[in-house]
Structure 1
C-alpha cells in the first residue's frame, strides 16, 4: 500500500491526537462527574448528620423528636431543594417518610451495616441517596435513607458527553487536514532536494543541493548529500584522470615499441641487430611497467590514506635500505653517497609505506639526475619543531621557474634530458600530504629536496 509522506504524517498525527484527545476527554468527563457527585454527596452527608441528631432511640424503636415539624419543613423546601427522607425499623417497617415521596420508597434491600452512597431510580426519577444503619450502644434500630434528585447533574453530564462525542470526529478531521498542510510545507525542502538530485548525472556532477542553514535534520541531510556528491565527483574525476594519465603514458612507449618491431621486420638483420632491437623493446616494456605501477599507486593513494597505520621507524635504517636498492646504478655512475646525522633520536612514528614512497622517489631522482662521479649528500637534522631529511645532488638542470610545477603530475622540465614520466615527484607530494609532511625545494649549486617531519609525530 503506497501512502505519500504527507498522508503518512497526517495519519500518524490523527492517531496520536485521537488517543490523546480520547484520554483528555475521558479525564474531563470523569473529573466533572466526580466533582458533581461530590457536591451532592456533601449535601447528603450534611442532611444525614442533621437528621440523625433529631432522632430519639427508645427501646426497640427510633423516631424523630419533631416529626410534624420535619415533615412540614420538607414540605416547604420541596420546590427549592427536594430532599427525600425515609426511616424504617429493623423489620423494614416504615416509621417516617417525607410527604414528597408519596407512595414511593427509597430504602433498598441491603444487609450492609455501613453507610452507603449510590445512585438509584424511583419511578424513573434518578436519585442520589445515602443509606445509613441506625446504631446506638452496639444495637441496630433500623435505617434512614436521605435522597436528592440527580436529574440535573446527569443531564449536564449527558450533554457534556454528547458534546465531546460531537467534537471528537471534527477535531480528528481538522487534525488530519492541518497535519497534511503542515507536512506539505515541511517536506518542501525534501521535494527540492529530490528535484535537484534527479537531474544530476555524470555530465553535471558539479550541481549541489541547496544547503539548509542550522543544525536540524534537514540541514544534516543536505550536507550529507552534498558530501556524498563530492565523493562521487572526486571518484569519477580520479577515474577520468587515471584514464587520461594511463592513455598519455602508454601511448608513447607502445608507439615506440611498435615502431621498433616494424623497423626490425622491414629487412633481414643480423642476430646482433635483432638482439639490440629486442633489448630496446624489453627496456621500454620495463619502463612501461614502472609507469603503470606508479600510476596505480597515484590513483589509489587517497584510498590507502583512509586506513593509514603508524609505527616506530628507524630513519637511518630506512635510508640505508633505499641506498642499497640503487646500488647498481650508483656503482655504474661512480657516485658517492654521504649520510650525515644530527639527531637525538633516530626513531619516528609514521607510516612506513608512504615514507618509503617519499624516500625512494627522492633518492631515485637524485641518483638519476646527478652528474657522474659526484657526491649525493643526505642530511638528517633535528631542531626544535621538526626532523628534516635533505637529499642534495649536483646536476639535473632544474630551473627556478620549474620549482612551482615540479610536483605536478607528468611535469618535466624543458631543460631535462633524462628519461622519465614526471610521476615520481607527484607521488612524493601526495604521500607527504597524507603524512602531513612538508617538502621544500632549493636550487643553488646543487638541487636539494628537504622533508620536514613534525615532531608531534615523534614517540
Structure 2
C-alpha cells in the first residue's frame, strides 16, 4: 500500500528527530554518569589524602597517628556512604581493614596506583568505587592502602535516569510523529488545492487558472509556474486551432477553383483552346497547393526539430554568397555592402540562416520592384544583418501580424500578389530556434527593413 506524501514527510521528520533525541538523551546520561562518578572519585581522593597521612607502615607494622580515626562511624558501619579501608603489604596480603568490611576484602592489584584513579568493583554483593594508594616509609614502599565507598546510591540514580529516558523516548517519538503528521497535512493543503483545481482544467476550459496565494514561497512559485504553463498551452491551442482553420481555408480555395474548372469542362464540349486554358487554371491551383503544402511541411519540420546545431559562420562572406546566388537565380539586383573591415563570426545554424535569408530576400523581391540591399553592421559588439527593399511598405497594423501563419497584407491581396502567408512564419520560427532576434521597420511608400541580431 502506497503511503501519502504527508505520511512520508511525517516519517522522515520523526526519524531525524528520533536520532537527535537519542543523541541528546545519550549525552544527558553520559554527563550525569560522569558527574556522579567524578563526585564519588573526588570524595575518595579527599578521604585518601586524609588517611594517607595518618596511617603508614614501618617495618611491616601499621602505625596510626590517630588511632581513633579507625573507630569513626563511617568505618564501623556500611550505611550512610561508608568508607571502606584495607591495608595490605606489597604482596597484597591483608594486614588490617576497617570493621565495616566484615569478612570481605577489597580488590588488590600490584600494578594499580593512585594516578590511575578509581574503579568500580563488587564486594559482598555491593557495588563500590575503589582507589589504591601506595604507602611509603622513609621513601621506601611498604605496602598499599585500599579505599572504597559505596556506589549503590549512584547506581540507583543512574538506573532510574536510564529507565526514565527509555520510557520517555517512545512517548516522545509517538507524540512527534502525530504532531509532524498534523503539521505536514496543514503544509500540503495548498498543494491539494492546486491538484484539485488542475484536475478541473481540461481542453474546454484552458482559460481557467490556479489561484495564486499571496506569498513568495515555493508554493507560490509552483502556482505561478503552473499558470504560466497553462498560458503557453492555451496560446498553443489557440494557434493550433487558428492554424488548422487558416490551412483549411487556404487549401479549400484552390480546390474550389479546380472543381469549378473541371465542372465547366464537362458540361459541354469545348474547343482545344478552352480545354488548355481551363487545364492551365487547374494546374495553377495545383501549384499553389503544392507550394502551400511544402511551406506547411517546412514549418512543421522547424517546430519539431527543436534547437538547431550551431556552427561558427563568417557572415560577411556567407551573406555575400547568398546575394550573388539569388541574383543569378532571379535576375533581380541584390546588393551587398558593409563598412566592417574585419571578418565577423557568429554561432548559428548555417542551414537555418540560409533559409531565413532566402525567405526574406524572396519576400522582398515579391513585394518590390527595385534592388534588394543586404547590409552587415556591428553595433556595441552585436552583429546585425539588414534585408532592405524599396517596395510599397507595410502598414502599422500589419507589422504586428506579418509573422503569423497565413497572414497576408490586405494590399498584397488587392494586388493579387501570389503567396501563402507562411514564409515569414517560417522565418520567425527559425530565428527563435537559432537564437536570432528578428524585427522589422517599415513605412508605407518607403520600403521595409528586416533586422537580424545575433
Match of 1:334? none
CA distance in 2, matches of 1:211, 1:381: 48
Q: Determine whether 1:421 maps to 2:427.
A: no
In structure 2, what is the equivalent of residue 46 of structure 1? Answer: 46
Are 2:129 and 2:150, in contact at CA under 8 Å, matched by a contact in 1? yes
Q: Distance in 2 between matches of 1:129 and 1:381?
A: 101
Partner of 1:392: 390
Pairs within 5 Å for 1:130-141: 130-134=131-135, 141=142
Q: Distance in 2 between matches of 1:342 and 1:97?
A: 115
Cα offset for 1:137? 7.5
Distance 2:8 2:323 in 1: 66
| Deviation at residue 413 of structure 1 after TM alignment | 1.7
| Structure 2 partner of 1:333 | none
Distance (Å, rounded) in 2 between the aligned partners of 1:122 and 1:400: 108
Instruction: Indicate conservation of the 8 Å contact 2:121/2:130, yes or no.
Output: yes
Q: CA deviation at 1:403?
A: 6.1
CA contact (8 A) 2:131 2:148 kept: yes
What CA deviation, in whole Å up to 9, does each residue of 1:189-209 have, x standing for no partner? 221221122122211223333
Number of residue equivalences: 437
> Given the alignment, which residue of 366, 374, 377 partners 2:371?
377
| Aligned twin of 1:411 | 408
Moved more, 177-186 or 49-58: 49-58
CA RMSD in angstroms, aligned pairs only: 3.6
Deviation of residue 43 (structure 1)? 1.5
Per-residue CA shift, 1:330-383, capped at 9, x if unaligned?
Answer: 6xxxxxx3737464459664655455455444544454455xxxx512335567
Could you say which residue in structure 1 is the equivalent of 2:267? 266
Matches within 5 A, 1:103-142: 103-108=102-107, 110-115=109-114, 117-134=118-135, 141-142=142-143
Q: 1:70 to 1:369 in 2, by over 3 A?
A: closer
Of 149-158 and 78-87, deviating more is 78-87
Instruction: Verify: 1:15 aligned to 2:15, yes or no.
Output: yes
Matched, 1:339 2:335: yes
How far 1:113 sits from its partner (Å)? 4.8
Note if 1:169 corresponds to 2:173. no
**Residues 51, 225 of structure 1: alpha-carbon distance in 2 compared, 3 angstrom cutoff:** same
1:63 CA displacement:
0.7
Q: Which moved more, 1:40-49 or 1:119-128?
A: 119-128
Q: Does 1:322 align with 2:316?
A: no
Q: Are 1:180 and 2:181 matched, yes or no?
A: yes
| Partners of 1:75 and 1:419 in 2: CA distance | 122
Instruction: Give, in whole Å, the separation in 1 of the partners of 2:408 and 2:261.
Output: 26
Judged with a 3 Å threshold, the aligned counterparts in structure 2 of structure 1 residues 52 and 451 are, in CA distance, closer, same or farther, namely: same
Superposition map of 1:241-256 within 5 A: 241-256=242-257
The change in CA–CA distance for 1:274 and 1:131 in structure 2 (over 3 A counts) is: same
Structure 2 unaligned spans of 5+: none
**Do 1:84 and 1:146's aligned partners in 2 also have CA atoms closer than 8 Å?**
yes
Counterpart CA distance in 2 for 1:68 and 1:243 is 118
Deviation sequence 1:261-288 (CA, Å, 0-9, x none): 2322333445554444333322211111
Assess if the C-alpha contact under 8 Å between 1:407 and 1:425 holds in 2. Answer: yes
Task: Judge conservation of contact 2:402–2:424 (CA < 8 Å) in 1.
Answer: yes
Q: TM-score, with normalisation over the residues of structure 1?
A: 0.81
In structure 2, the residue corresponding to 1:376 is in which secondary structure? coil
Distance between the aligned counterparts of 1:400 and 1:225, measured in 2?
Answer: 35
Q: What does residue 291 of structure 2 align with?
A: 290
Distance in structure 2 (CA, Å) of the matches to 1:190 and 1:321: 59
CA distance in structure 1 between the aligned counterparts of 2:352 and 2:88, rounded to whole angstroms:
108
Alpha-carbon distance in 2 for matches of 1:397, 1:302? 29
